[in-house]
Structure 1
Amino acid sequence: MKRKNLVNGMILAFSVIFIRFIDVRVYDMPLILTLALLMVLIYGGIRLVERFPALDEPVSKRTSLITNTLVIVTIFLAFFVLGL
């Protein structure tokens, strides 16, 4: 697995948390606006990651597993602790 794939997964997870936090705590957005902002944020993040050639290097299975586990734990904690 490449580093780029791990970073894209992190972008996806943290974009969902960020937009959901804004939707719940700051401003109650209509669903279509929430989805549009989420798509723009994810697309922009992925396009930004494409510009870094250093992220094309492979990572070990252990690093991949640890990173994915931390991202999943962060999602659960964010949704339960912040009440999203």
Structure 2
Amino acid sequence: MKRKNLVNGMILALSVVLIRFIDVRIYDMNLVVTLLILGALIYGAMRIVERFPSLEEPVSKQTSFTVNTLVILFIFLVFFIFKL
């Protein structure tokens, strides 16, 4: 697995949490608007990640597993703490 794949996974998780937080706590958005903003945010962030050649290096399975586990725990904790 490449570092880029891990970063893309983190982008997906953080984008969903951020948009959900904005939708619930700041401004109640329409579902279509929410999905469009989420898609644009994810697409833009992934396009930026593509520009970094250092993210093409491979990552060990243990590091990959650890990062993925931390991302999942982060999602659960944020949804639990902020009651999203």
TM above 0.5, yes or no, is: yes
Q: Residue in 2 aligned with 1:13? A: 13
Structure-1 residue corresponding to 2:53:
53
In the TM superposition, residue 44 of structure 1 has moved relative to its aligned partner by: 0.4
The alignment-based identity, stated in percent, is 69
Please give the alpha-carbon distance, in whole angstroms, between the structure 2 residues aligned to 1:72 and 1:24. Answer: 20
In structure 2, the gaps of 5 or more residues are none
Task: Give the TM-score normalised by the residue count of structure 1.
Answer: 0.99
**RMSD, aligned α-carbons:** 0.3
Question: What is the CA-CA distance between 1:24 and the residue it aligns to?
Answer: 0.2
Unaligned runs of 5+ in 1: none
Deviations 1:9-35 (A, max 9, x none): 000000000000000000000000000
2:23 counterpart of 1:27: no
Which position in structure 1 is the counterpart of 2:66? 66
Measured after TM superposition, the shift of residue 61 of structure 1 is 0.5
**Alignment match, 1:78:** 78
Provide the C-alpha distance between the structure 2 equivalents of 1:39 and 1:8, rounded to a whole number of angstroms.
13
Count residues with an aligned counterpart.
Answer: 84
Q: How big is each residue's C-alpha offset from its partner over 1:26-58, in whole Å with a ceiling of 9 and x where there is no partner?
A: 000000000000000000010000000000000
Runs of 4+ in structure 1 off by over 3 angstroms are none
